[in-house]
Each structure stands twice: as C-alpha cells, then as structure tokens.
C-alpha cells in the first residue's frame, strides 16, 4: 500500500477513535490495544500494531476520560504509534527499532492530545452556550447542530494531528534509524515494556513519569544490545 494512502486511512481511523473516546459511540475500539492492532492491520503489520497497542494499554490503564479530568489521548496515540511502527517495519526497518519509535511517537502524541482535548473542551463550552441560546429563542435544533459540530471538530482535529505526526515520524525515522537491529522479540524484550507498563498503571504523579522514563531507557538499552 502506498504510504500516502496508508497515512490517510490511519488519519481517518484516528478521527473515528477520537470520537469513540468520549464524543459519541463509545464502542471501546478506542482502547489502545484494539486501536493499535487495527492500525497495524491497516498497514499489514497486525502483530507490530498489537505489540505497540498492548504496551500502551498497560501504560495508560489507570487513566480514564471521565468528568473534567485531563487525560492523554490514548486511542489516537495508539493509532499514530502503531501506524508509524507498522509503516517503518513494512519499509524494511528492523522491527525492534520500528516498535521503539512507534512507542516514543505514541507517548508524545498522547501528551499533545491532552492539550488538544483541553482546548476542544473550552470550545465545547462555547457551543453549549450557543445551543442554549438557540433553544431559548425557539430553535429546537440548536442542540443537535452543536453536538454534530463538536463531533466534527473532534474528528477532524484528531485526523489532522495523526496525519501530521505520522508523516513527520516517517521522515525523521528514515534518516535516524540504523539499518540493522533486532528483528524478533525474545521474552526479555517483551517483559521489559510490559513490566514498566504495569508499574505505571498503578502509579500516580511523578512516580508514573519516572517509571515511563526508566522503561524507555531500559528498552532502548535492551534493543541496542540485541
């Protein structure tokens, strides 16, 4: 599949996943393990996508998009990370480095997604005010228009973010990734990210952040030694 077409499909998938997170549907395909596997399947690398998605599921298992709490946009991040890893692997890059790159890209996307979601919430407050004014003026379709617009903005914003990040990741990784590296995943390489993810899932505050940093360093060392 052409990379441009793959990025377009992944961007549309990211938009759908973003909508499923809180805006509508909530069929749970926005969970990282599901979103990651589907993104990998799109680019012909289902196992790679599952690897990224499963790790992210553990990293963000304790984060729920409820109430007004801030949260990393885990589903969109999983699509971006798994899609990037899958595309890099399909291009011939060593699978280990592709997955490591995908995880780093996903964590960065999750952080950016938190900022984006916060901004969209402020925008939704404005839409709610307009809907209330429309209803008070006798326009009973004001609420419907506000909801559709909010969903559309969430979809398009996430799709554009995903396309931009995946495209940038491919360009940078193509220049920086080594030509050789781990092609398979022994138990040790699997155990490291899963253990770190489990630790982060039960951590809070700086403890979680330190665990993520330690896990990334440990994973990078393991990959470099293989």
* DSSP string for 61-109: TT----TT-----HHHHHHHHHHHHHHHHHTT--HHHHHHHHHHHHHHH
Kindly state the percentage of the chain with pLDDT values over 90. 15
Higher pLDDT: 100 or 226? It is 100
pLDDT above 60 (res 202): no
User: Which pTM was predicted?
Assistant: 0.75
- Model pLDDT for residues 109-131, shown as the tens digit of each residue: 888 888 887 787 788 777 777 77
Domain boundaries, the chain: 3-181
Q: Which of 151, 197, 160, 184 is CA-nearest to residue 32?
A: 197
Q: 6-20, 38-52, 91-105: which has the minimum mean pLDDT?
A: 91-105
pLDDT the model gives residue 58:
79
Alpha-carbon distance 207 to 212, whole Å? 9
If you average pLDDT over residues 188-200, what whole number do you get?
A: 52
pLDDT above 70 (res 204): no
pLDDT the model gives residue 64:
67
pLDDT the model gives residue 132:
74
Greatest mean pLDDT among 63-67, 130-134, 219-223 lies in 130-134
If you average pLDDT over residues 15-24, what whole number do you get?
A: 82
Alpha-carbon distance 204 to 193, whole Å? 18
CA distances from 34 to 1, 75, 98, 181 (A): 22, 9, 19, 27
If you average pLDDT over residues 150-158, what whole number do you get?
A: 85
Alpha-carbon distance 100 to 223, whole Å? 8
Residue 32, φ and ψ in degrees, nearest 5: -50, -40
Higher pLDDT: 152 or 189? It is 152
The mean pLDDT value of the chain amounts to 77
């Amino acid at each position: 599949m052409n990379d441009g077409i793959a990025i377009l499909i992944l961007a549309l998938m990211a938009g759908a996943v973003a909508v499923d997170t809180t805006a509508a549907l909530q069929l749970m395909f926005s969970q990282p393990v599901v979103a990651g596997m589907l993104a990998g399947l799109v680019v012909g690398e289902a196992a790679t996508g599952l690897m990224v998605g499963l790790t992210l599921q553990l990293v963000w298992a304790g984060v729920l998009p409820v109430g007004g709490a801030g949260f990393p946009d885990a589903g969109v991040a999983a699509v971006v990370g798994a899609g990037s890893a899958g595309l890099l692997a399909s291009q011939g890059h060593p699978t280990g480095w592709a997955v490591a790159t995908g995880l780093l890209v996903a964590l960065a996307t999750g952080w950016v997604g938190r900022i984006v979601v916060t901004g969209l919430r402020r925008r939704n407050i404005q839409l709610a005010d307009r809907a209330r004014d429309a209803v008070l003026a006798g326009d009973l379709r004001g609420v419907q228009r506000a909801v559709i617009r909010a969903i559309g903005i969430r979809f398009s914003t996430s799709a554009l973010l995903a396309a931009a990040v995946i495209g940038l990741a491919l360009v940078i990784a193509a220049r920086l990734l080594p030509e050789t590296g781990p092609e398979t995943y022994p138990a040790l390489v699997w155990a490291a990210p899963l253990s770190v993810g489990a630790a982060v899932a039960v951590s809070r505050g700086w403890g979680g952040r330190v665990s993520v940093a330690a896990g990334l360093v440990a994973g990078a060392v393991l990959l470099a030694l293989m």
